Amino acid sequence: MQKVIVLDFGAQYGQLIARRVRDLGVYSEILPCDTPAAELAATGVDAIILSGGPASVYAENAPSIDPAVFELGVPVLGFCYGQQIMAKVLGGEVGHTDVGEYGPATITRVTPSRLFDGTPEEQTVWMSHRDSVVKVPEGFAVTARTAVCPVASMECAERNLYATQFHPEVRHTTYGNDMLSNFLFDICGLIRDWSADGIADILIAAICNQVGNDRMILGLSGGVDSSVVGALCARAIGKQLTCVFVNHGLLRKNEPEEVEEVFTKQFDVDFVHVHAEERYAKLLAGVTDPEAKRTIIGTQFWEEFFAVAQQLAEDGRPVKYLAQGTIYPDIIESGARKTGGKASTIKSHHNLIPFPEGVSFELVEPLDHFFKDEVRALGTALGLPDSIVWRQPFPGPGLAIRIIGDVTPEKLRILKDADAIVREELDTYNALLFEKTGERNSEHACWQYFAVLPDIRCVGVMGDERTYARPVIVRAVESTDAMTADWAKLPYEVLEKISSRIVAEVVGVNRVVYDVTPKPPGTVEWE
């Protein structure tokens, strides 16, 4: 399989470039900017892209590049800082321009270039720079400029070196994708050969290589990220992997059974189902504060998890590696940055893991380069069922934060049963939309939907009897990232069916209400 390496100069969203390349059907991964040329050559690279970065090429400790990269005979494309470093290393000049450019800018092409084939003479691009190239290296031609930037792009076609001051990877650059495509297929002569199956093979080989004959442990939550890591590691190292599924009793109806089924029947791993339901019930008894519930549940998870690791060590099977389902947006969100290596010691986004005294693991995070939809494609390629691959987001503290007030077995029973009905009906609703639109996340598909149990009772009448029972709240939202959300405008018939089924089928419920609050000002969850 062909490979495009993105050398990262500290670009805020460097992974986006790799992502765009993968979207075009060519495998791509990111490595630190100072990776030696010999190392790149040894791994077999077909094209190199230099990312942008926040520094000035003349700043002290400015990130640099091994000049031999330009001698490898491999086509190179630089963006922003990538253009500037290419110019500087190859004998051009970078200077401060009087006016920086931030945001949309119009470029005018000045000489024909294969990079711009099929795109207009004038077009909108996305700029973000103060420095710019003021003199191109020998043998280079300027291919586009803007009113304030004399070298908006440059190239030395004979050596297959291309660069742009703007960012083609950003959607605001109207023809950015065409440029990337021209580079990959026309200039580099690559073909589309990347697929989720292919990447699964690469990741599996990397895990085998790293872990060797040692033992690895993974906390399985049943969510898509940890399940895909579980499936990958299972394929890579089989029974050397212990999957720990801590059942806190706060998962949705039938979920624990499904996770167990998949990881015992479909994958051949050491699966430990920790039945911690009673311990959690005791710890949560009488606790009403949402943050206190979260803390108790999180802390106890690690207690249970480390107890399994300790038991393995006592049984003569000590654990060296901890696998984590970290995906790329988790790293962005936590502000932690890392490029390259598949494993590292604990970084800031893992500081929340309360390792006991003297305990440490080496981390394996096979998905840390990937975005959610790529992880889903990988899950499908590995044979995980749709119910896991397309599982909606579910909070770690589970149903405990959907039960307002204290958590009791009776409330849990009511919520699980009501929630199962909400999910069943809205799964059907989403599936019908999917059939119509061909898109799983079509505009009006519900993104997250569940039931909430408030800590009150209300009066009703059933048959000839007055009832004094519980109301259930239905929450269904449309969103893409949970940062903002809108309540789903569900058809009345769907709401009617959910309501009548819950009241008829769930003992102890006499009323159903629908939450019509967007986020903000509401949140998706009630606690």
Helix (H/G/I), strand (E/B), else coil: 190: coil
In the structure encoding, which two tokens stand for residue 483, read together? 């940062």
Alpha-carbon span 320 to 341, nearest angstrom: 17
Helix (H/G/I), strand (E/B), else coil: 297: helix
Is residue 219 close enough to count as binding ligand XMP by CB under 6 A? no
User: What angle in degrees, to the nearest 10, is found between the helix axes of 492-505 and 409-437?
Assistant: 150
In the structure encoding, which two tokens stand for residue 422, read together? 């909400």
Is residue 346 close enough to count as binding ligand XMP by CB under 6 A? no
Is residue 12 close enough to count as binding ligand XMP by CB under 6 A? no
Is residue 54 close enough to count as binding ligand XMP by CB under 6 A? no
Which residues, at least 6 apart from 431, have a Cβ–Cβ distance to it below 8 Å?
Answer: none
Q: Which of 86, 308, 397, 411 binds ligand XMP (CB under 6 A)?
A: 397
Binding mask 292-321 for ligand XMP (x = CB under 6 A): --x---------------------------
Is residue 145 close enough to count as binding ligand XMP by CB under 6 A? no
Cα torsion for 127, 128, 129, 135, to the nearest 10°? -30
Neighbours of 41 (CB within 10 A): 14
Is residue 329 close enough to count as binding ligand XMP by CB under 6 A? no
Is residue 222 close enough to count as binding ligand XMP by CB under 6 A? no
| CB 481 to ligand XMP: min, Å | 9
CA angle (233 as vertex; 229, 236 as ends), nearest 5: 145
CA angle (223 as vertex; 444, 503 as ends), nearest 5: 60
Is residue 525 close enough to count as binding ligand XMP by CB under 6 A? yes
Measured over the CA atoms of residue 50, residue 54, residue 57 and residue 59, the dihedral's sign is: negative
Task: Select the span of 81-89, 120-128, 388-396, 506-514 touching ligand XMP (CB under 6 A).
Answer: 388-396
383: left (phi over 0), alpha (psi -120 to 50) or beta: left
Is residue 232 close enough to count as binding ligand XMP by CB under 6 A? no
CA angle (398 as vertex; 396, 401 as ends), nearest 5: 110
Task: Select the span of 76-84, 264-272, 389-397, 407-415 touching ligand XMP (CB under 6 A).
Answer: 389-397
Identity of the residue numbered 271: F
* Closest to ligand XMP by CB, 264 or 295: 295
| CB 397 to ligand XMP: min, Å | 5
* Closest to ligand XMP by CB, 15 or 448: 448
Q: Which of 395, 454, 508, 518 binds ligand XMP (CB under 6 A)?
A: 395
Positions marked active-site: 80, 167, 169
Alpha-carbon span 482 to 441, nearest angstrom: 14
* Closest to ligand XMP by CB, 461 or 483: 483
Binding mask 237-276 for ligand XMP (x = CB under 6 A): ----------------------------------------
Identity of the residue numbered 310: Q
* Closest to ligand XMP by CB, 515 or 525: 525
Q: What is the DSSP string of 32-52?
A: ETT--HHHHHHH--SEEEE--
Task: Select the span of 96-104, 212-220, 327-335, 391-399 touching ligand XMP (CB under 6 A).
Answer: 391-399
Give 3-state DSSP helix, strand, coil % of the chain, rounded to 5. 40, 25, 40
Is residue 448 close enough to count as binding ligand XMP by CB under 6 A? yes
Is residue 524 close enough to count as binding ligand XMP by CB under 6 A? yes
| CB 524 to ligand XMP: min, Å | 4
| CB 439 to ligand XMP: min, Å | 20
C-alpha neighbours within 13 Å on the C-beta side of residue 33: 22
| CB 448 to ligand XMP: min, Å | 5
Neighbours of 372 (CB within 10 A): 15
Q: Which of 134, 332, 404, 482 binds ligand XMP (CB under 6 A)?
A: 482
Is residue 519 close enough to count as binding ligand XMP by CB under 6 A? yes
For ligand XMP, how many residues bind (rule: CB under 6 A)?
11
Interface positions with ligand XMP (CB under 6 A):
294, 393, 395-397, 448, 482, 519, 523-525
